[in-house]
Structure 1
Amino acid sequence: MKSLTAWPRNVALYLFLLCWTVPSTVLAQEPTIRLAGVVSEERIAPLLEALMARIPRAKLSYERLSAAQIAAAAKQSANAPFDIALLSSPDIAVSVANEGYAASDETVGAVAPVQWRNEVFGFWPDPAVIVLRRDVFTERMPRTRIELVRALEQNSSRLSRRVGIVNIGIDDVSYLLASQDSIRTSLYWRLMRAFGGAKARIYDTTDDLMDTLQAGELDVLYNVPLSTLPIGENMLEGMEIIAPQDYVLAVPWVAFMPKGAPNLGDARVVLRALLSPVSKPALSEVGLTYSKGFPGLDSLQSIELGPELLVFRDTIKRSKFLDIWFQMVVD
């Protein structure tokens, strides 16, 4: 039988070995930080590679989800299916945070270009632009909303079925842009009526809109996020991107961490890396950038993060807004 005096020595030796071996085991395991976003896996790949290069011990996984799916998943009380969400619908992110489902981090907030309550972090303002076919507007290219309205009203027959817009009842970003337009210019509903007069084609998604543009079937596109367009040498021949001279709306791409994320500690490290200036080249590869020489962005008006974004998410207000929009554009 072992003496009682032997036990303290044995316990001390056990604790020593435990402290020596556990760190090695932890370091050998690569934590997996799960990201969810609204862009394709192919498009996001350069950004993930850049982040993993900056944090060698981290392993990143990615799943493409819609903004609605991201919001629903973030509201799970525990075991959210992702640690970081990246999306282009700041109003939805603010709604999630406002309901108490987003984790707070002051350190991340300190490096973010814009943030709200240290829970929703903006990392790039996406300008909404107009795309026009040059040979259709030979006399003068419309560069303001009033010029676009007049061009549509005066050439409704020639432009019939040649105008493309995205369904704001389906696409979250398009709805946000429409609602923000309506409070910034008294011309908005006149412009929607002009779209209706030109029998504008309405698409469920921006991808559908781009497919029709590439087929050469459209001459006018309105409120198109710059991030969805090929820029420079890849731009479609004969088309010109117009940043409206009256004002350019910019939708902030945002990130947040759900409170139910199982790996919040490592997610904070990745999010700080994403929001740091050194990640800009990787964001550029993903298409979340624009040339410093891109004309017309002096009038950029970035949509601010905050509870004001929730006004048009009210069910009754949204329903009324959509009713008027469809009356103008479709009827």
Structure 2
Amino acid sequence: MRKLVFSKLPLTLLLLVLWLPALPARAFEVEDHVRFESALEMEVLKLLSITDLATFEPLIKDYQRLNPTVTVDYTQVSSRELYKAVSAQEEPFDLAISFAMDLQMKLANDGLSQPYQSRISRAAPAWSRWRHEVFGFTAEPIVAVISESGFDGLTLPQTRQELIALMRENPDRFSGKVGTYDIRTVGTGYLLGTQDANSSEAYWRLAEVMGSLDPQLYCCSSQMIDDIRDGDLLLAYNVLESYARSRLQEEDDAQILRMQDFTHVALRSALIPVNAENPDLGGSFIDYLLGPNGQAMLERETDFPPLSSYDAASSGPLRPIRFGVTLLANLDRLMRDRFIGAWEGALRLK
């Protein structure tokens, strides 16, 4: 830890340091922050997002190509920290982008977002938005990622029932080698866990089998994928396919599995916080993300499948997570405590 050694400071500087008031601590933790200056700065769009900066940068620069007077101030945080930042209202942001659909809905339901309507936003599918306040703009499958060498000689599971049977029959192989989200601390993990449990009773049997195998718990998909690639895991469950595709190379000893009983599709979404200083700019970025330019850039420059790529008529086992009151119900404190308690028991964490 860096320390100030006051005895070595000039007296005038020492007095200045002691006189300066302490800066107020932020109500949330920042992972990254970059300001994309425009050549003709007239306005500043403040974005708060959980998306890796390297992934989102092409979208920001394309938006600025279409809006050359806008400087974009980009702050990257986790989904929980984004929720805390918008809730605290201590720092204004013009747009908040998160993968935690339930937390985005709660912000809107608690009066912490403001409505936005345009020709483009109204054209979005009804299931992909909430009350003209939360707008999904990607459609991202949730998958399992496996180590190909670790599964050598085994029949690859196509359903959760087959995965359960495979792990039960091979405990020595999978012990300490199965990873998933820690749903107690990761908003995305809790969202996906509750959706799995709502969709199939197999979720709890799967959790119990994982619990017998010393499961490894993670904060994010990227770390699970890296541990698959490095040989520390054989199975990563409930991973964002977009991150798997962006981090894995053809030569990596890994494979993506979409479960054929069902594969959830989650939406990355945007909302305009109630205290936004430039809500019109936030709205213009929503229109960009939902419009042809943003959707094309998502498909061409990122591994995030655009909302326009999802075809409900021919989706097969793909099952979208829809905005609705069920997502809010899962955030009820009593229900959340009960669910996490059952999850901890199944995974033998208590």
Q: Which residue of structure 2 lines up, in the alignment, with residue 47 of structure 1?
A: 59
Structure 2, unaligned runs of 5 or more: 1-39
Structure 1, unaligned runs of 5 or more: 1-27
Structure 1 residue 98 corresponds to structure 2 residue 109? yes
Query: 318, 323, 330: which one pairs with 1:305?
Result: 323
Give the CA RMSD over aligned residues: 2.3
Q: How does 1:126-141 map to 2 (within 5 A)?
A: 126-135=140-149, 136-141=151-156
Query: 102, 108, 130: which one pairs with 1:116?
Result: 130
Q: Which residue of structure 2 lines up, in the alignment, with residue 182 of structure 1?
A: 197
1:54 deviates by: 1.7
- Cα distance change of structure 1 residues 236 and 119 upon mapping to structure 2, 3 Å threshold: farther
Counterpart AA for 2:97: L
Q: Which residue of structure 1 lines up, in the alignment, with residue 68 of structure 2?
A: 56
Q: How does 1:16-31 map to 2 (within 5 A)?
A: 30-31=42-43
Q: How does 1:125-204 map to 2 (within 5 A)?
A: 125-135=139-149, 136-204=151-219
Which has a greater percent of helix? 1
Structure 2 CA distance, aligned partners of 1:152 and 1:268? 47
TM-score (norm 1): 0.84
Structure 2 CA distance, aligned partners of 1:272 and 1:224? 28
Structure 1 CA distance, aligned partners of 2:199 and 2:41? 52
Cα deviation digits, residues 107-137 of structure 1 (max 9, x gap)? 1531434211100001112111011223324
Query: 83, 90, 98: which one pairs with 1:87?
Result: 98
Preserved contact between residue 80 and residue 258 of structure 1 (Cα < 8 Å): no
Q: Which residue of structure 1 lines up, in the alignment, with residue 13 of structure 2?
A: none
Q: Which residue of structure 2 lines up, in the alignment, with residue 32 of structure 1?
A: 44
Query: Which segment drifts farther, 90-99 or 159-168?
Result: 159-168
Higher CA-based Rg: 1
- Cα distance change of structure 1 residues 172 and 122 upon mapping to structure 2, 3 Å threshold: same
Q: Which residue of structure 1 lines up, in the alignment, with residue 302 of structure 2?
A: 286
Preserved contact between residue 147 and residue 229 of structure 2 (Cα < 8 Å): no
Structure 1 CA distance, aligned partners of 2:163 and 2:216? 17
Q: Which residue of structure 2 lines up, in the alignment, with residue 329 of structure 1?
A: 347
Structure 2 CA distance, aligned partners of 1:185 and 1:73? 34
Structure 2 CA distance, aligned partners of 1:185 and 1:95? 25
1:233 deviates by: 7.1
Preserved contact between residue 134 and residue 141 of structure 1 (Cα < 8 Å): no
TM-score (norm 2): 0.80
Larger RCO (CA within 8 A; separation ≥ 6): 1
Preserved contact between residue 144 and residue 235 of structure 2 (Cα < 8 Å): yes
1:183 deviates by: 1.1
Preserved contact between residue 248 and residue 299 of structure 1 (Cα < 8 Å): yes
Preserved contact between residue 248 and residue 254 of structure 2 (Cα < 8 Å): no
User: SS where residue 216 of structure 1 aligns?
Assistant: coil
Counterpart AA for 2:262: Y
1:193 deviates by: 0.8
Counterpart AA for 2:76: R
1:198 deviates by: 1.9
Preserved contact between residue 194 and residue 330 of structure 2 (Cα < 8 Å): yes
Preserved contact between residue 55 and residue 270 of structure 1 (Cα < 8 Å): no
Preserved contact between residue 94 and residue 272 of structure 2 (Cα < 8 Å): yes
User: SS where residue 138 of structure 2 aligns?
Assistant: strand
Q: Which residue of structure 1 lines up, in the alignment, with residue 260 of structure 2?
A: 245
Query: Which segment drifts farther, 253-262 or 221-230?
Result: 221-230
Cα deviation digits, residues 273-295 of structure 1 (max 9, x gap)? 121022123223232128x8xxx
Structure 2 CA distance, aligned partners of 1:66 and 1:133? 27
Preserved contact between residue 145 and residue 254 of structure 2 (Cα < 8 Å): yes
Preserved contact between residue 147 and residue 231 of structure 2 (Cα < 8 Å): no
Structure 2 CA distance, aligned partners of 1:217 and 1:229? 16
Q: In percent, how many aligned pairs have the same letter?
A: 26
Structure 2 CA distance, aligned partners of 1:72 and 1:220? 32
1:88 deviates by: 0.4
Structure 2 CA distance, aligned partners of 1:128 and 1:171? 15
Q: Which stretches of structure 1, 4 residues or longer, exceed 3 Å deviation after superposition?
A: none
